[in-house]
Amino acid sequence: MTFQEQIQQGIPNQLPQPKPYETNINHAPKRKEILGEEEKKLALKNALRYFDPKFHAELIPEFKQELEDYGRIYMYRFRPDYEMKARSIEDYPGKSEQAKAIMLMIQNNLDYAVAQHPHELITYGGNGAVFSNWAQYLLTMKYLSEMTNEQTLVMYSGHPMGLFPSHKDAPRVVVTNGMMIPNYSKPDDWEKFNALGVTQYGQMTAGSYMYIGPQGIVHGTTITALNAFRKINKEPKGGLFVTSGLGGMSGAQPKAGNIAGCVTVCAEVNPKITKIRHDQKWVNEIYEDLDALVKRVREAQENKETVSLAYLGNIVDVWEKFDQEDLRIDIGSDQTSLHNPWAGGYYPVGQSFEESNKMMAEDPELFKEKVQETLRRHAAAINKHTEKGTYFFDYGNAFLLEASRAGADVMADNPTLGREFKYPSYVQDIMGPMCFDYGFGPFRWVCASGKAEDLKKTDEIACAVLEEMIKNSPEEIQQQMKDNIQWIKGAQENKLVVGSQARILYADAEGRMKIAEAFNKAIKNGEIGPVVLGRDHHDVSGTDSPYRETSNIYDGSRFTADMAIHNVIGDSFRGATWVSIHNGGGVGWGEVINGGFGMLLDGSEDADRRLKSMLFWDVNNGISRRSWARNEGAIFAIKRAMEVEPNLKVTLPNLVDENLL
């Protein structure tokens, strides 16, 4: 069968042969056993719903074995034989260009070069899934190949509910992931209901079909690192940045450090992912000996090198060793997946990677105890460095939250609402007041032709738009504009593409609309092929996350999720090609609600109309909420937006004299 025929087939009429478990692939860790005997039967019944009853007798023992061996039913037998990668949009079967674009993005999320655990359909973060099993993937791709622009596919936590009649301006796909009743949104609830096959953790861009590899966060980490050095009035050259995690998104850190121009030390316990990042040239050198690492760091500091060094081992050992050696750390953070601390997101010190994985599955209570011991040691070591002058910030991965729950010394001496911790979230000190409040966030695009020359052309278009805009930009956003022009000019030489021909930069609503409009015009003129627009949920208005995206909102509303819900509803009727809303992502299940979108530009007048309507709302929804929280930059930005668009009328806050209070 051809690739197109396999897509159109969906779930095959005859059972494919069982596939061997490939040990050279980076697999998800075994999940802990959480289902009772009756619940295991229910998990099997749920999985077998996808298949003709004549196959059940053969599949039951196989699926039962998967549940016992891995804690989940992945249906490995049904993994497709074709190469998993984003192809040109022209290569996909179908009646709708929009649907073809979505197929392209789904396959990109599962590309072996992009996905963290591709055989388990997990894109990043240890549990950020596109689907729960391979039957869902096959059925979804079949539906997309059949869809017209008068239908909408409804995705129910990985499960394709079906095609429903709609209209051309409706989203082609509506995605929800993990939308639990609040009282059933604890970590163990995810373990249980995910094992039953009825919900999944979509993370942010994993379950939204919008992940573009670590590049998606390289830019944000670069901007954060540059501004962290600015905060301590130090040039990055010769400065030392210490952090941890080389997995899905965290793999961006060493590349970001190189672009910022500092010395980066990043620890990682997984040998496979460390090798992958080195092979991809996202990290320059690997060390397994702490003494050798210390010697190399001193040399790099003295020579003011720009270099990234991976330490294959636990980050706690690095912080403690650098303290003993009195090695000066300028800025520090952590980007392990602490939203997922008990299932592979963070590993205990003093044990091998293999020992930890075994304990995680066989003795989860002891594993949790060891993780919390490690968090206490981790925080104690950081505290020693900050007393010497290190600037430490939480990178929004729930490090401080989980450390506090473990009893670590991370709480502020004089806590205030929103400033409970000893150290700030990077959003509180950097990204929130400098970027999000002004409407700057991670605008991204994918060249659906798959051609590198199209990406080069779009880079040039985006750069030209920004350089024209900066001529008349107010002083308040000059630095943001300059940083992004510098970024896009260096994007090609930094070889950031992994998987699809994609790019990201931070832009405000005006920048996003003008760049998108210029892309659509170039498509119409035949200069480039179609382009998919999107963003990370880690943005101005898509996400309500009290310890990350909305952590610099101090009016008490940071624990509400109205903004994210309004965002996805508003994007839906303003022309998004697909929309998504998730429970969880980045900081953990039950800790955040976040929404995302995708939009196909095809050179049409319809696309031009939709992009202006949707992108304006997508950004200004968040700015208006931030301005109501009395954020100074957001008040400035929303007033400016109202001057540009007379139909925009936003309620502004009246400020109270603190002396009166």
The string of pLDDT tens digits covering residues 19-53 is 999 999 999 989 989 999 999 999 999 999 999 99
The answer to which of 119-123, 184-188, 496-500, 542-546 has the lowest mean pLDDT is 496-500
Average pLDDT over residues 115-144: 95
Q: Grade residue 588 by pLDDT with cuts at 50, 70 and 90.
A: confident
Average pLDDT over residues 332-360: 92
SS (H, E, C) 180-215: CCHHHCCHHHHHHHHHCCCCCCCCCCCCCCCCCCCH
> What is the model's pLDDT at position 439?
96
Q: What is the dihedral of CA 133, 137, 139, 144, to 10 degrees?
A: 160
The pair of structure tokens assigned to 67 is 């549940």
> What is the model's pLDDT at position 557?
96
> What is the model's pLDDT at position 585?
83
The string of pLDDT tens digits covering residues 275-328 is 988 998 889 999 999 999 999 999 999 999 999 999 999 999 999 999 999 999
> What is the model's pLDDT at position 311?
98
What's the rounded Cα separation, in Å, for the pair 87 and 379? 45
Nearest alpha-carbon partner for 219 in 245, 244, 255: 255
What is the DSSP annotation of 565-613? Answer: HHHHHHHHHTT-SEEEEEE--SS-TTS-EEEEEEEEE-S-HHHHHHHHH
> What is the model's pLDDT at position 613?
97
Average pLDDT over residues 621-643: 97
How many percent of the chain have pLDDT more than 70?
100
Segments of the chain assigned to CATH 3.40.50.10730:
214-426
Q: SS3 for 452?
A: helix
Average pLDDT over residues 515-535: 98
Residue 116 has pLDDT above 80, yes or no: yes
Q: Which residue has the tokens 């700057």?
A: 440
Nearest alpha-carbon partner for 358 in 372, 378, 344: 344
> What is the model's pLDDT at position 269?
96
Q: Grade residue 141 by pLDDT with cuts at 50, 70 and 90.
A: very high
For CA atoms 600, 601, 603, 604, the dihedral sign is positive
The string of pLDDT tens digits covering residues 455-473 is 999 999 999 999 999 999 9
Nearest alpha-carbon partner for 153 in 165, 163, 142: 163
Q: Domain 214-426 carries which CATH code?
A: 3.40.50.10730
> What is the model's pLDDT at position 343?
86
Residue 214 has pLDDT above 80, yes or no: no
Average pLDDT over residues 194-217: 91
Q: Is 586 annotated as a binding residue?
A: yes
Q: Grade residue 660 by pLDDT with cuts at 50, 70 and 90.
A: very high
Segments of the chain assigned to CATH 3.40.1770.10:
433-643
What's the rounded Cα separation, in Å, for the pair 463 and 511? 10
Q: What is the mean pLDDT of the chain?
A: 95
> What is the model's pLDDT at position 421?
94
Average pLDDT over residues 90-100: 98
For 420, what's the count of Cα atoms within 13 Å in the CB-facing half-sphere? 11
Average pLDDT over residues 5-22: 96
Cβ-based neighbours of 20, under 8 Å, separated by 6 or more: none
Q: Is 395 annotated as a binding residue?
A: yes
> What is the model's pLDDT at position 353?
94
Average pLDDT over residues 190-203: 96
Q: Grade residue 216 by pLDDT with cuts at 50, 70 and 90.
A: confident
pTM assigned to the model: 0.89
Q: Is 268 annotated as a binding residue?
A: yes
What is the DSSP annotation of 147-192? Answer: --TTEEEEEETTEEEEEEE--TTS-SEEEEE----GGG-SHHHHHH
> What is the model's pLDDT at position 547?
87
Q: Grade residue 251 by pLDDT with cuts at 50, 70 and 90.
A: confident
Q: Grade residue 498 by pLDDT with cuts at 50, 70 and 90.
A: confident
Cβ-based neighbours of 216, under 8 Å, separated by 6 or more: 205, 249, 252, 442, 444, 502, 504, 536
Q: Is 203 annotated as a binding residue?
A: yes
> What is the model's pLDDT at position 249?
67
What's the rounded Cα separation, in Å, for the pair 98 and 105? 11
Domain 433-643 CATH (choose: 2.60.40.420, 3.40.1180.10, 3.40.1770.10, 3.40.605.10): 3.40.1770.10
> What is the model's pLDDT at position 378?
98
